[in-house]
Amino acid sequence: MTVSLNKGTIEIRWHGRGGQGTVTAAKMFASVAVKRGFYGQSIPMFGLERSGTPVAVYSRVSKEPIQRNDPVTKPHIVVITDPSVMVFLAASQGGKLPESIPDPRAGITDETVFIINSPMPPQEAKRILGLEGKPNKVCTVDATKIALEEIGRNVPNTAILGAMAKILPEVINMETVREELEESFGASSKLRALIPANLKAMERGYNEVKCA
Amino acid sequence: MAVELIKERKAVAMTGNQAIAEAMRQINYDVAAAYPISPQTELMGFFAEYLANGLVDTEFITVESEHSAMSAVIGAAAAGARAMTATAAQGLLYMYENLPIASNWRLPITMVLVNRALSAPLNIHCDHGDAMTARDSGWIQLFTENSQEAYHSLIMAVKIAESALLPAIVNMEGYIVSHTIGNVNLLTDAEVREFIGESDWRKNVPHPLLDTDNPVTYGATALPDYYTELKYPQHLATFEAKEHVKRVLEEFNRLAGTNYQVIEPYKLDDADFAIVVMGSTAGVARTAADQLREKGIKAGVLKIRLFRPFPYEEIAEALKHIKAVAVLDRHDSMNGLASPLYQDIASALYHLPERPMLHDFIYGLGGREVTVEDMLKAFNRLINIYTGRETRDRFTEYLQVRE
């Protein structure tokens, strides 16, 4: 039950909040894709974003050069890094979200896979998304808890990437993320010290993600 | 001496700003002067890191305004230095009065313009408004589609500027390219440095101010008796610049395995309908053309890489057989006529015995997202006007205005 690049470009939409590292996670994702020999792209939603504002980030990964740079409207994978999105969705009871929050359900198909940072079981997340009985795969992982336990800070990126490695093993694996972390953290000894904890968080994300 | 960092070619993921900073490091300019403005701020920040880490020899002048930035690089280039600046939008407008001076003095300065909409209303996002104001400044202008092209183009621009003896702008779209991460194949430091050649203040410009044995005057007055004569060589040089650009592009293609041309036709050979566009929209337009071809509509795209000097002969040749052409310009000149790119395309086609029908779409203003659907809409409107299914009041229209 993995997503494969054989059918063409995989398009991903991330839902997070400014300052929670969603853009960083998406950039790491693109960088890892390039390291694996693919074409990778990540497009932050820019501008006058403030810390805490809901943001959408778009990524593409492909075996061919990527032509498009427009927002992803029909995602193959939706990654929700901000746990509060599910809370808002639950409160909306299947209705509309507040206008400021990009709707993770927008443009999805039966094949769209969800990877959600949330302590709730995947069945519950699937119900809240209104996807009960649908073929969609919905996965949850408590990446925030993992991050707090392993890294000591609310930086759920690597745990999320671990969960993504389960869905997209062609693109993400432990070894490449280690390489990426060593390159991006390498210059500072303070950051370098965080690499083992981040890799542990990624491993836990991979092992603890549950799908329905 | 600049540190040699990249000894083997490699594919990396970089934003446009990172890629340009990387090119700046490899080029190892003698002088850079800049004032921060979004979306260029981050680019100079990346470069400042290289500088602080001792990786480049560049004299980085943190000026108090863009006007001073351009003044500083003009002075540096006239002295014989390889010099650059980077800016966007109002920053370009603030330095504008110095732009035609750099070009008339034939100074091979390079500038990265991180395209941003002009105020008002205040907007930090992308359109080509800033680049279009510089279209009559005598600067060479290249447009780029992604971070890979931006990286390559700055390297090429150094050589183009120094061989044409004209300043050159590399346009990179704000946020859409400057902040989007994508694949960049980096050349080695040695390859870049060999391609552009070592900076030599005695050779970068024909008459360096530092050559005190042969003193010259820059900035002298020329009254009605000589002004024309001091403009005419620049007029000729601007036409000749196209050949310099072509030659440098070819040399670069041989080095990097790219296929850069002054224009980039896509499926135009048998096309009935075409979009002409510059910058990052080209890929979205090509995607739309492919989708139309699946439905049996022969659609194509012409991307313009070299905007100044305008390669009108190549453009006429590429478009002469097309039934109808939609020109897409990410700028409105507010001239009561049409977008600047439309006017240039119309001029390029005017002398053909038979020419395509032309239509003008203004789009993507102030960072408005440009989708494949937008491009399909442009194609469909063009086709409907051509076939008489729809009429038009003017040949210039806004593509994306909400009603």
pLDDT tens for each residue of B173-231:
999 999 999 999 999 999 999 999 999 999 999 999 999 999 999 999 999 999 999 99
* Token pair 């303070």 in the structure block, residue: A190
Q: Are residues B160 and B307 in contact, defined by beta-carbon separation less than 8 angstroms?
A: no
Residue B5 resides in a domain: no
pLDDT per residue as tens digits for the range A160-188: 999 999 999 999 998 999 899 888 887 77
Inter-chain touch A46–B125, beta carbons under 8 Å: yes
Q: Are residues A66 and A81 in contact, defined by beta-carbon separation less than 8 angstroms?
A: no
Inter-chain touch A41–B179, beta carbons under 8 Å: no
Residue B4 resides in a domain: no
Percent of chain A residues topping a pLDDT of 90: 74
Claim to verify: residue B307 and residue B228 sit in the same structural domain: no
Exposure string (b/e) for A123-136, b if CB count within 10 Å is 16 or more? Answer: ebbbbbbebeeeeb
* Token pair 């919905």 in the structure block, residue: A138
Q: Residue range B19-37: average pLDDT?
A: 98
Inter-chain touch B182–A66, beta carbons under 8 Å: yes
Task: Give B103→chain A minimum CA distance, Å.
Answer: 34
**Cα–Cα distance measured from residue B242 to residue B246, given in angstroms and rounded to the nearest whole number:** 6
Q: In which domain, by residue range, is B61 found? A: 10-256
Q: Is residue B98 scored above 80 in pLDDT? A: yes
Taking the whole predicted model, whether its pTM rises above 0.90 is answered as yes
Domain end call among B256, B281, B301: B256
Claim to verify: residue B322 and residue B358 sit in the same structural domain: yes
Q: Residue range B258-263: average pLDDT?
A: 98
pLDDT at position B258, please? 98
How many residues are there in chain B? 403
pLDDT per residue as tens digits for the range A77-131: 999 999 999 999 999 987 889 888 999 999 999 999 999 999 999 999 999 999 9
Give DSSP secondary structure letters for B145-196: SSHHHHHHHHHHHHHHHHHHTS-EEEEEETTTTTS-EEEEEEPPHHHHHHHH
Task: Give B9→chain A minimum CA distance, Å.
Answer: 13
Claim to verify: residue B205 and residue B293 sit in the same structural domain: no
Q: In which domain, by residue range, is A149 found? A: 5-211
Q: Residue range B45-73: average pLDDT?
A: 97
Q: How far is CA B346 from CA A107, B134, B273, B341, in A?
A: 40, 20, 16, 8
Q: Residue range B27-41: average pLDDT?
A: 97
**Token pair listed for B293:** 């071809």
Domain end call among B256, B278, B296: B256
Inter-chain touch B13–A33, beta carbons under 8 Å: yes
Residue A49 confidence class, pLDDT cut points 50, 70, 90: low
- Residue in B175, B287, B369 nearest the CB of A71: B369
Rg (alpha carbons) of chain A, rounded to whole number:
16
Q: How many domains is chain B built from?
A: 2
Q: What is the CATH number of the domain that holds A201?
A: 3.40.920.10
Residue A48 confidence class, pLDDT cut points 50, 70, 90: low
Domain end call among B227, B256, B285: B256
pLDDT at position A99, please? 86
pLDDT at position A198, please? 94
Chain A, 49 to 88: residues with Cβ < 8 Å from chain B are 65-71, 73
Q: Is residue B278 scored above 60 in pLDDT? A: yes
Residue B246 resides in a domain: yes
Q: What is the CATH number of the domain that holds B362?
A: 3.40.50.920
Pick the residue of A9, A29, A68 with the most B CBs within 10 A to test the interface with B by mutation: A68
Helix, strand, coil % in chain A, rounded to nearest 5: 40, 20, 45
Instruction: Enumerate the H helices of chain A as residue ranges.
Output: 22-35, 84-92, 122-128, 143-150, 157-167, 174-185, 189-192, 195-208
Q: Does A47 touch chain B (CB under 8 A)?
A: yes
Claim to verify: residue B268 and residue B244 sit in the same structural domain: no
Inter-chain touch B180–A68, beta carbons under 8 Å: no
pLDDT at position A45, please? 73
pLDDT at position A47, please? 53
Residue B403 resides in a domain: no
pLDDT at position A46, please? 61
pLDDT at position B112, please? 98
Q: How many domains is chain A built from?
A: 1
* Token pair 């990426």 in the structure block, residue: A180
ipTM of the complex: 0.93
Residue B1 confidence class, pLDDT cut points 50, 70, 90: low
